[in-house]
Structure 1
């Protein structure tokens, strides 16, 4: 099968030979530089000229000079060879995960502790990776990964959560603390008992956002024979804490949220509260760049396989 002119034009060997002759202006020296004999080089240049449809060199018995077409093409040929070299290096970087693209979704609580130092370390080590961060709730993340919109996602969930079809690693396990309005009668109490808080209205995220954690919180109330009174639902943890500060109720939040210091809100450990939460990184398909990202997990992160 014959090679089409368009395919022949991207023959890097031919352009490498052209550059060697153009720089040496001598077929013998160019052939020596290319570790070949002169007749095959002369033939290769003639073939390239036939493909281009123009003379690249003006030849005489005593000299070889670039033609007008050759002078025009030379800088482009040099650039082509340089780009080819860079492409090979880029391919190697992509194969080892230090180049490419990674689109990560995350819940807001991850931004308080886990994510910032992780991203900083990764970006410093892998500047060729195009890292895109998108804040999204758990339900949006799972749907996005199903559609191929996210490569991985940081999820908040209750222990025991194992999404179907996804691999993952547990990054940490956190206790739930109670965010209370500072004017609440027990806000300054040295010890807060769960039984003292069961009748207080809740500010809560909708179940569809984090069903496993929602059920874990409600389970504490059901164990006491009560149905929680939800005063207001909100999606983002910052919004939930802001609503607590306005006196709408109390909220169960991961302990890491205590870093979000909102005037009018105090955080208290509650004796008898058994619900916990975990943060995990989950993904539908592994990739070199994702594997590389995992290498930069913060020192404090204890990685355990999700569902194990």
Structure 2
């Protein structure tokens, strides 16, 4: 039994006339007759009576009709849903993000996407860059917003934005009085950095920035999230170099100053599995407001 047999049955059951049913199906009458015969052979019951009075459903045909129509409707719905999923209109998007994305308009981006695609469920989780990479590889995320483009071969990415690094200092720190802070002025300060385990690439970049200006930072504490780093600075436990987005976090006790130098900026990338379905990912990236991350 094939779906074409069911469609032939449905048309004939409604028209009760081979000529009209064949016309409706855009086929000639002989192939329609063959299809009905094949269907009856497959079912093992006569579905139509044919005589000089015309065509009518048998009792078996009446019983078969409801189930046949339900199967056709289910198949049509399955096709519609498959097309909608491919087009990014329905489904579930599992999105990972680094904390700085919240300060760069991620909420507005999510709202813009949900307004366009209300039937898509978006599940968001804050993770550091390395945890997002691992989650993508385990197929636990569909899209990741992270701080590195150094990715395994199975992953691809595109840049989203870049922003400068700032000196992050405790309120009352002598260097906080400057309009711009020379990196060398932080050489003897206890540093609070993003965890090496959480984002080895990002940790190494900040260490490299310091080394390029004559010193290796004296690591005092590590945080797994940038807000933890800024909070530790605000409590007077050290200084740090952080992405400019965290100036908007509003953490009392932390002061942000531009660096006197201009190191390579902090960048955020969108990453995904190369073999992943592009539908929802493409729609989400396209929904990004101009003022967002």
Q: TM-score range by the shorter chain?
A: 0.7 to 0.9
TM-score, length basis structure 2: 0.80
Q: Which residue of 2 aligns with 1:145?
A: 136
| 205, 212, 221: which one aligns with 2:201 | 212
**Residues in 2 aligned to 1:148 and 1:71: alpha-carbon distance in whole angstroms:** 48
**Residues in 2 aligned to 1:301 and 1:167: alpha-carbon distance in whole angstroms:** 21
Residues 220 and 273, structure 1, Cα contact 8 Å, conserved in 2: no
Residue 51 of structure 1 deviates from its aligned partner by 1.5
| 162, 165, 177: which one aligns with 2:166 | 177
Residue 78 of structure 1 deviates from its aligned partner by 2.6
**Residues in 2 aligned to 1:191 and 1:300: alpha-carbon distance in whole angstroms:** 26
Residues 179 and 258, structure 2, Cα contact 8 Å, conserved in 1: no
**Residues in 2 aligned to 1:246 and 1:63: alpha-carbon distance in whole angstroms:** 91
Q: Which residue of 2 aligns with 1:3?
A: none
Q: Which residue of 2 aligns with 1:119?
A: 110
Q: Which residue of 2 aligns with 1:277?
A: 266
Residues 216 and 275, structure 1, Cα contact 8 Å, conserved in 2: no
**Residues in 2 aligned to 1:74 and 1:143: alpha-carbon distance in whole angstroms:** 51
In the comparison of the two structures, how many residue pairs are matched?
A: 290
| 69, 75, 79: which one aligns with 1:78 | 69
Q: Which residue of 2 aligns with 1:4?
A: none
| 262, 278, 282: which one aligns with 1:288 | 278
Residues 178 and 250, structure 1, Cα contact 8 Å, conserved in 2: yes
Residue 261 of structure 1 deviates from its aligned partner by 1.0
| 258, 261, 266: which one aligns with 2:255 | 266
Residue 103 of structure 1 deviates from its aligned partner by 3.6
Deviates more, 1:139-148 or 1:201-210: 139-148
Q: Which residue of 1 aligns with 2:218?
A: 229
Deviates more, 1:197-206 or 1:221-230: 221-230
Residues 194 and 202, structure 2, Cα contact 8 Å, conserved in 1: no
Q: Alignment RMSD, CA only? A: 3.2
**Residues in 1 aligned to 2:156 and 2:26: alpha-carbon distance in whole angstroms:** 51
| 1:33 has 2:24 as partner | yes
User: Could you say what secondary structure the match of 1:271 adopts?
Assistant: coil
Structure 2 residues without counterparts, runs of 5 or longer: none
- 1:249-299 Cα deviation digits (max 9, x unpaired): 223221112221122323222323635311112334164323444433432
**Residues in 2 aligned to 1:138 and 1:242: alpha-carbon distance in whole angstroms:** 20
| 1:56 has 2:47 as partner | yes
**Cα–Cα, structure 1 residues 50 and 107, in superposed 2: closer, same or farther, change >3 Å?**
same
Residues 146 and 268, structure 2, Cα contact 8 Å, conserved in 1: yes
**Residues in 2 aligned to 1:130 and 1:52: alpha-carbon distance in whole angstroms:** 41
**Cα–Cα, structure 1 residues 224 and 47, in superposed 2: closer, same or farther, change >3 Å?**
closer
- 1:187-206 Cα deviation digits (max 9, x unpaired): 45544443433323222222
User: Could you say what secondary structure the match of 1:282 adopts?
Assistant: strand
- 1:137-159 Cα deviation digits (max 9, x unpaired): 211222333344434422114xx
Deviates more, 1:108-117 or 1:166-175: 108-117
**Residues in 1 aligned to 2:23 and 2:265: alpha-carbon distance in whole angstroms:** 72
Residue 183 of structure 1 deviates from its aligned partner by 4.1
- 1:122-177 Cα deviation digits (max 9, x unpaired): 344445655443332211222333344434422114xxx54352432221111112
| 21, 27, 32: which one aligns with 2:12 | 21
**Residues in 2 aligned to 1:172 and 1:52: alpha-carbon distance in whole angstroms:** 62
TM-score, length basis structure 1: 0.77
